[in-house]
Structure 1
Amino acid sequence: MATRKIKKVHKAVSAPIGNLVTYRALPTREVEYIDPFLFLNHHGPQTYGPNNSGLPFGPHPHRGFETLTFILKGDIMHQDTGGGQSVIEKGGVQWMTAGSGLIHAEVSSDKFKREGGPLEILQLWFNLPARHKMVKPNYIGLQQGELPTKTEDGGRVIVNVISGKWGDVEGPIASLGGIAMGSIELKQGGTFTAAIPAERNIFFYVVRGQVNVNGQHISKLHLVEFEQEGEEIKVEALEDAYILLGHARPFNEPVVSHGPFVMNTEQEIQEAFQDYQLGKMGRWTE
């Protein structure tokens, strides 16, 4: 099996949001997106003291894409105008299909704001294909124990399966864009190998630790961009590490984004703003 070639390695850029430590891996000056993976913000790690204001993401609209949020430390209290509501804690994930549009808020729980503690959260945006841009919004929140896992290399590698099929393990979330997504925990010395068809784009981000990927050293806060040549991905942990890994067939469709909306044309962006202002994405009530 041919090894997948690495095209370039991109360092996430510092992009703090108020007092929230944030690194943005997508988009940057070097890489706009890896179709259909659009955006990644890595918040933290940092520690909040007691009586803090928590996450700053109050009510805001979205249309035309999906979000996947990883809660590595701390928690997120989610609420949206489609009826979704939950508090997801350490080890859990949130998958939201914005589709035709909704308003949502992602803030810290009252308990976290009162007591404080460590926080580390990542949010990844996936594009939706044109045929699904206006689907009905949906929200799924899963706690750590609700995610299936796949253990490899004598227990030194754990794959947390979110969507798609990983060997004989099926993810609990059905991706409208055919995206396979997981997170991988590696103990020092652990090895993970995957075969990903050459026609599928790969999303690979190192959250923590240092790894060798197909023989190249990659440290935390780096995004690996691969060529569409070869299939085998081999990851060796030089120290305890945590990575995000996803793959999908590219949509090869126009991407027009403006703030919270991702569509295929400028006209659709204008319609999104109008629909939001007219209340067609719901009206926020506390």
Structure 2
Amino acid sequence: MRTIKKIHKAISAPIHDLITFRALPTSQIDYLDPFLFLNHHGPQVYPPFNRGLPFGPHPHRGFETLTFVLDGDLVHRDTGSGESVIRAGGIQWMTAGRGLIHAEVSSEEFKEHGGNVEVIQLWFNLPAKLKMTAPHYVGLQQAEIPAITLDEGKVTIHAVSGEWAGTKGSVPSLTDIQIARLELQVGGTYTAQIAASRNILCYVVRGIVNINGQSATTHNLIQFNNDGKEIQLEATENTTLILGHGEPYNEPVVAQGPFVMNTQAEIMQAMRDYQMGKMGVWAE
């Protein structure tokens, strides 16, 4: 069984009027190679005639994003021709690679009528050899993501990528990132076998769960040592969590704003390329 190094509490980091808790990076932990960033937006209720989510057009290079839409909706558009409206239960996976501009905003319907919003966004690093790969986008609704039911219906795994209980997730990962959203009812148990070499991302969205003998709760990020394979989960409240794992790259990480590269020179080049329109030109 893996031992837990530390349980981190996500920090409050609101963006305009959007409730946000950031689990990565914080003053306590920079990243969990290859997992760079985790923001938990909401849950909150937007009134009618709202401005929607504040993620207008902005560039990215050198990594991938995965967005879980837990409630509300999310309209995605990018300069690589990706476009979709994802509703509750769906996901967006975008490989920024060599660079693009994208926006993630609320639908006009949501802005008019309001409603509940809850979104998790993750950033996955890309190794140096893939930093300049071609951009790619996948948007999936909940029905397009395999839902694996275990423990007499007390555990549901929404398999995004990798293999979970013998079922493959919907998104092929360039770097063998394996990740899923898990829902556990009170008393539900799940055991995962994850190679000791792989780093684990485990974030409790809501609820209380015993993880390898320690209790974790809402907004907790669990950091593991690389000393065992088994992860045991047992919910003491109805719990939703994000569980993922990947091999670390052990490469330099230089991050500045929306770009993540290996050197400062590459960051400066990304800025120049963006300014020169090499990541596309945004058309309203």
- Please give the TM-score of this superposition, normalised by the length of structure 1: 0.99
Alpha-carbon separation, structure 1, partners of 2:170 and 2:237: 29
For residue 204 of structure 1, the aligned residue among 181, 202, 207 is: 202
The 5 Å alignment of 1:47-126 reads 47-126=45-124
For residue 44 of structure 1, the aligned residue among 42, 45, 48 is: 42
Alpha-carbon separation, structure 2, partners of 1:21 and 1:125: 19
Alpha-carbon separation, structure 2, partners of 1:257 and 1:17: 20
User: Shift of residue 167 of structure 1?
Assistant: 2.7
SS where residue 111 of structure 1 aligns? helix
What are the Cα deviations for residues 134-189 of structure 1, in whole angstroms up to 9, with x where unaligned?
01101000000000121111110000000111131011111112100101000011
User: Shift of residue 241 of structure 1?
Assistant: 0.4
For residue 262 of structure 2, the aligned residue among 264, 267, 278 is: 264
What are the Cα deviations for residues 106-134 of structure 1, in whole angstroms up to 9, with x where unaligned?
00000000000000001000000111100
For residue 226 of structure 2, the aligned residue among 225, 228, 243 is: 228
* Paired residue type of 2:129: R
Alpha-carbon separation, structure 1, partners of 2:250 and 2:175: 12
The alignment status of 1:182 with 2:171, answered yes or no, reads no
* Paired residue type of 1:185: E
Query: What is the aligned partner in structure 2 of residue 241 from structure 1?
Result: 239
SS where residue 70 of structure 2 aligns? strand
Alpha-carbon separation, structure 2, partners of 1:173 and 1:157: 21
Alpha-carbon separation, structure 1, partners of 2:223 and 2:46: 33
SS where residue 280 of structure 1 aligns? coil
The alignment status of 1:131 with 2:138, answered yes or no, reads no
Alpha-carbon separation, structure 2, partners of 1:33 and 1:278: 30
SS where residue 118 of structure 2 aligns? strand
Alpha-carbon separation, structure 2, partners of 1:265 and 1:61: 18
Query: What is the aligned partner in structure 1 of residue 213 from structure 2?
Result: 215
SS where residue 23 of structure 1 aligns? strand
Deviating above 2 A after TM superposition, structure 1's stretches of 4 or more consecutive aligned residues are none
Aligned residues: 284
SS where residue 209 of structure 2 aligns? strand
* Paired residue type of 2:80: G
Query: What is the aligned partner in structure 1 of residue 167 from structure 2?
Result: 169
* Paired residue type of 2:206: R
Query: What is the aligned partner in structure 2 of residue 12 from structure 1?
Result: 10
RMSD: 0.5
* Paired residue type of 1:200: R
For residue 24 of structure 1, the aligned residue among 19, 22, 25 is: 22
Alpha-carbon separation, structure 2, partners of 1:136 and 1:184: 30
Unaligned runs of 5+ in 2: none
SS where residue 14 of structure 2 aligns? coil
Unaligned runs of 5+ in 1: none
Alpha-carbon separation, structure 1, partners of 2:26 and 2:139: 29
Percent of counterpart pairs with the same letter? Answer: 60
What are the Cα deviations for residues 6-54 of structure 1, in whole angstroms up to 9, with x where unaligned?
0000000000001100000000000000000000000000000100000
Alpha-carbon separation, structure 1, partners of 2:131 and 2:197: 23
What are the Cα deviations for residues 65-109 of structure 1, in whole angstroms up to 9, with x where unaligned?
000000000000000000000100000000000000000000000
SS where residue 170 of structure 2 aligns? coil
